[in-house]
Amino acid sequence: MATQTEIRTLLECHVVGCDGEPLGRVGQVYLNDHTGRAEWVTVRGGFLGMRQTFVPLAGSHRTAGEIVLAFDGEKVRTAPGVAVDGLLTAPEEVALYRHYGLGPAVPAPRTGRHDRLGLDI
């Protein structure tokens, strides 16, 4: 399970594509309902960081103050638009998994509770 300290550390990171393109800063951290581990983050980008895009942490690695994704900037920019409202629904999650070419094709059943940690920057 992710600790508050681990999550706060993620919230302080810049996000970079695997192609070296700077994409923005972490906006929010989403945890897996079953494992409690950080699975997705949103990347704040665009004008004044108003746009947030979901990106998976699968395959990424962290360096000092930076998360380098397993995906390039183009893949992140073309991700499905998903509202950052505290709950990632099963259909939204399926669309994101498909976009990024990740499994599972169908996510585990949701518990109905919010999976976003309430730590916005």
The pLDDT, as a whole number, for residue 4 is 83
The first and second tokens of residue 1, run together, are 């399970």
| pLDDT tens column, 49-90 | 568 999 999 999 998 899 999 999 999 999 998 888 767 788
Q: What are phi and psi of 45, to 5 degrees?
A: -145, -170
Please state whether 112 falls in left (phi above 0), alpha (psi between -120 and 50) or beta.
left
CB 70 within 8 A of CB 24: no
Is the CA virtual torsion 100, 55, 72, 95 positive or negative?
positive
The pLDDT, as a whole number, for residue 112 is 45
Integer-rounded Cα radius of gyration of the chain: 13
pLDDT bracket for residue 47 (50, 70, 90): low
User: Which one has a higher pLDDT value, 69 or 93?
Assistant: 69
The per-residue b/e assignment along 56-78, b for 16 or more CB within 10 angstroms, e otherwise, is bbeebeeeeeebbbbbebebbee
